[in-house]
Structure 1
Amino acid sequence: MPFGASRAIGSRSDGGRMGVGSDDAVVIKVGKLAGEPTVVTVNCNDETGLGCDICHIILEFGLCITRADVSTDGPWCYLVYWVIPFLPSISIQWTSLKNRLLSACPACSIPFYVDLSRSGTSQFYLLKLFSADRKGLLHDVTQILSELELLIHRVKVSTTPDGRVVDLFFITDCMDLLHTKKRQDDTCERLTNTLGSCVSCEILLAEGFQQGFSSLPPVVAEELFRLELSDGEICSRSLSPDMRKLKKANVNFDNSTSPAHTLLQIRCVDQKGLLYDILRTLKDCGIQINYGRFLSDMKGFREVDLFIRQTDGKKIIDSGKQGALSSQLRLEMLHPLRVMFVNRGPDTELLVANPVESSGKGRPRVFYDVTFALKVLQICIFSAEIGRQTASGRQWEVYRFLLDESRTLPLANSRDNRNQIVDFVRRTLMGW
């Protein structure tokens, strides 16, 4: 076996596997020293795409995967992730993380966690927040809701004549407990305690709520969703000179190392959610991973070795299939998020888009990162909405932010200002 994780899984007998309970399926060993990574181990029944689902949850909790070992013998898998918070200020709820990971493991039941990717699973609620106006408020609320495992689906921000702000958040609850008075009271108490006594809130059932979304104009959609990208559009301005040399990413296929698997080797620039982007691409393409290793070097690059095969159990030998998979991986690794400005009448709108998994899941923490970037830039948000749109043969999740230019630098008539904002938002999203 090529990796340590493979030896660990091989040491467990079939009988031992059958005896693994939910408490043993996910083990989290929190780092004791500052900067020391936390080790997350998942040991359970396997299914295609499980590694992607685990990475999705880890990313959703604000954690960066610094290293990973993956091993499976078909019916059983052993996954090890070394993780650290993206920001020191992020508060990680390790018990909640373990429960969410358990809910993703086949045959492990966590009844109070639900799969929000399934339509009709969760009830929408309306959170009304009343407060004094200030820059960065939307991100501060977003951070609290994220820590409470409440997902935001639409936001409407308005200002009253007396200078107060009314924020309307349409949300769903990952724990599916927001129908209880205790969960609602705890949420409002957390918001008021953190944001100050001048804040008040209430939570109502959003009956009849629909994820309505106005389609983008055809010209804007064509620019935002186009698949053909030039080298100059791969965010090279966000990279150091050494990292620009590798902006195209190296993707190689080796069918000589293993008699039963194709070795997929990737070396590319490190970025937030890189392993997730690789695994979701392989998942959507129906590629199975049997062994894998995810490592980083000291210069900001990542090395990924994956022993893979097709759903029929065969190696990927056809050059056409290799080329198609290589092109798809490069696109998803180098440009997983799209960011651009458009004019919306006299106003300015910031658009951010990312492809949706075939399972229906969108990329985690996009709304969090964009509001954080705009808070740092001291740009006020007038309104925001999140929706889905089909283009270029796939579904996209689109975030639309209507910016309030009355209290910030003018954007509509300044190309340099726009480019700087787009660059900073993209860097934040990519973790650069």
Structure 2
Amino acid sequence: MEYCWSSSLNVDQEFAKLVNRMHPPRVTVDNVTYRNVTLIKVDSVNKRGSLLEVVQVLTDMNIQIKRAYISSDGEWFMDVFHVTDQNGNRLFEDNVADRIQQSLGPRDSCSFRSLRGSVGVQSVTDHTTIELTGHDRPGLLSEVFAVLSNLKCNVVSAEIWTHNSRVASIVYITDNETGLPIEEPDRLAKMKQLLFFILKGDRDRRGAQTAVARGCTHTQRRLHQLMYADRDYDTEECGLYENSKSVKPLVTVENCREKGYTVVNLRCPDRPKLLFDTVCTLTDMQYVVYHATIDAEGVEASQEFYIRHMDGYPISSEPERERVIHCLEAAVKRQIPEGVRLELCSEDRVGLLSDVTRIFRENGLSITRAEVKTRGQKAVNTFYVTGSFGDEVKVKTIEAVRNAIGESALTLKEESVPTTIKSQPTTRFSLRSLFRKDSYTI
């Protein structure tokens, strides 16, 4: 049986390569048609995940999607993106088309990841990857980084998200002495056990689990998967009521009788990676996007998706409709950090994160989001912090933390985050105009 499965997989991969050679993806980058934006057109054989692959490439290159028209009904996938760079100018990258074409080629086995377990450790080429999910609480990250420091692990990079009392994190580590990935089974087992007890605590009703993850990973793609698998969208399951100060997206879900689609509309303040977040979630929920229009040319973004299940049927029940709404709301809010932004730039050293997060905890600060990077010998880290109970941080607390860490190393960054959505929708092109307007509520 195992041989047959392996043979079938090889045949599928070879067939995908054959189709790709016969009908290779075609990507054009047009800087002539419009003065202020670059036009990217993608034509390719349609396969599951094509839209996410393209959006992921654009997001990773920090390309801003201002408008998009998407169609994948049938055997062909056609996208048109109006994009700019981070400064709102046309693109002058030479490799955009090549990277998109490469992403649409045959996938290898590392494109897929298991969602089993809430603590995963995996050895890859130049580091060991740790995945964490569980109940968030003040001081949790301080304990995690203290364990890693005690086990003589060096944190190369990390990203941490929190939402609805849940936390998800991916941490990349190496051995402190050798700088190589950690591969000793006993050491990995001890690490997993200690992290398990820290995550489990005494308040997590769901409990923590351990598992070894395999394959490659895209950090933010994987964090969406971890959060979704951990049901961070379910406020009742998390044991709390939604009390976030950030804006709540407006999401509607209805069925279009004429074509047998479910129509999903989302409106919220625009921000980078918004389309990536929503497409990730629809993909994780096993929906296929057949058509879509995206408008993010102002401060507010509008996204309209025509979706079906993988079996070709639209949403068929009210509970499922509500679940889609809650999941998309969570996808948008996961990437909206709460609290004060602190940036740390200093000489990197083993135990640095353990010391910094301990100082945060001792001063009553709770980390709601963090991004850890090393550039050469420098540690470049970003933290969003609130009070221990989600309250605002006092100025004197920030000053005390800066004095303890080093005023030149830790700086406070001011950010402006939109907190409202216009009550009246603006006039936009909608795919609904191409279909009959009568629809029915589930």
TM-score by length of 1: 0.50
Distance 1:35 1:405 in 2: 50
The Cα of 1:307 is off from its aligned counterpart by 1.1
Distance 2:89 2:296 in 1: 23
For the 8 Å contact 2:233–2:326, the answer to whether it is kept is no
Question: 2:180 maps to what in 1?
Answer: 206
Cα RMSD over matched residues? 5.1
Unaligned runs of 5+ in 2: 1-17, 115-120, 129-153, 159-170, 206-226, 341-356, 384-400, 419-442
Question: 2:316 maps to what in 1?
Answer: 317
For the 8 Å contact 2:156–2:172, the answer to whether it is kept is yes
Distance 2:79 2:155 in 1: 31
The Cα of 1:122 is off from its aligned counterpart by 5.3
The Cα of 1:296 is off from its aligned counterpart by 2.9
For the 8 Å contact 1:296–1:302, the answer to whether it is kept is yes
Question: 2:331 maps to what in 1?
Answer: 332
> Structure 2: which amino acid aligns with 1:79?
D
Distance 1:26 1:404 in 2: 55
Distance 2:22 2:367 in 1: 41
Question: 1:69 maps to what in 2?
Answer: 69
Question: 1:282 maps to what in 2?
Answer: 282
Distance 1:328 1:301 in 2: 20
3-state SS in 2 of match to 1:255: strand
Classify 1:309/1:251 alpha carbon distance in 2 versus 1 (closer, same or farther; 3 Å). same
Classify 1:408/1:28 alpha carbon distance in 2 versus 1 (closer, same or farther; 3 Å). farther
Between 1:335-344 and 1:323-332, the stretch displaced more is 335-344
Question: 1:99 maps to what in 2?
Answer: 98
Question: 2:294 maps to what in 1?
Answer: 294
> Structure 2: which amino acid aligns with 1:308?
I
The Cα of 1:74 is off from its aligned counterpart by 3.4
For the 8 Å contact 1:382–1:404, the answer to whether it is kept is no
Question: 1:123 maps to what in 2?
Answer: 125
For the 8 Å contact 1:44–1:106, the answer to whether it is kept is no
Classify 1:330/1:82 alpha carbon distance in 2 versus 1 (closer, same or farther; 3 Å). same
User: Does residue 82 of structure 2 align to residue 82 of structure 1?
Assistant: yes
3-state SS in 1 of match to 2:320: helix
Question: 1:269 maps to what in 2?
Answer: 269
3-state SS in 2 of match to 1:280: helix
Distance 1:205 1:117 in 2: 26
Distance 1:60 1:48 in 2: 20
Distance 2:285 2:321 in 1: 12
Distance 1:257 1:353 in 2: 42
Distance 2:242 2:284 in 1: 25
For the 8 Å contact 2:31–2:90, the answer to whether it is kept is no
Question: 1:181 maps to what in 2?
Answer: none
Q: 1:20-39, aligned counterparts within 5 Å?
A: 25-31=25-31, 36-39=36-39
Distance 2:409 2:107 in 1: 53
Classify 1:305/1:170 alpha carbon distance in 2 versus 1 (closer, same or farther; 3 Å). closer
Deviations 1:196-232 (A, max 9, x none): xxxxxxxx9835469978556849999x979637665
For the 8 Å contact 2:65–2:296, the answer to whether it is kept is no
For the 8 Å contact 1:348–1:403, the answer to whether it is kept is no
Question: 1:357 maps to what in 2?
Answer: none
Q: 1:338-377, aligned counterparts within 5 Å?
A: 338=337, 343-344=358-359, 351=367, 353=369
Distance 1:269 1:382 in 2: 28
> Structure 1: which amino acid aligns with 2:305?
L
The Cα of 1:308 is off from its aligned counterpart by 0.8
3-state SS in 2 of match to 1:324: helix
The Cα of 1:98 is off from its aligned counterpart by 2.8
Distance 1:367 1:26 in 2: 36
Question: 1:233 maps to what in 2?
Answer: 244
For the 8 Å contact 2:38–2:91, the answer to whether it is kept is no
Distance 2:382 2:250 in 1: 37
Classify 1:115/1:263 alpha carbon distance in 2 versus 1 (closer, same or farther; 3 Å). closer
For the 8 Å contact 1:350–1:403, the answer to whether it is kept is no
Classify 1:154/1:258 alpha carbon distance in 2 versus 1 (closer, same or farther; 3 Å). farther
Deviations 1:277-332 (A, max 9, x none): 1111100100111111111354x112222111112211113111101111111121
User: Which aligned segments of 4 or more residues in structure 1 are displaced greater than 6 angstroms?
Assistant: 88-92, 116-121, 169-172, 209-213, 219-222, 347-350, 382-385
Question: 2:14 maps to what in 1?
Answer: none
The Cα of 1:62 is off from its aligned counterpart by 0.9
Determine what percentage of the aligned residue pairs are the same residue: 14
User: Does residue 284 of structure 2 align to residue 250 of structure 1?
Assistant: no
> Structure 2: which amino acid aligns with 1:70?
I
Unaligned runs of 5+ in 1: 1-17, 127-151, 157-168, 173-203, 236-246, 355-365, 373-379, 386-401, 412-416
For the 8 Å contact 1:262–1:316, the answer to whether it is kept is yes
Distance 1:35 1:333 in 2: 31
For the 8 Å contact 1:250–1:268, the answer to whether it is kept is yes
Of the candidates 153, 156, 165, which is equivalent to residue 154 of structure 1? 156
The Cα of 1:54 is off from its aligned counterpart by 1.6
Question: 1:306 maps to what in 2?
Answer: 305
Distance 1:348 1:382 in 2: 23
Distance 1:74 1:258 in 2: 17
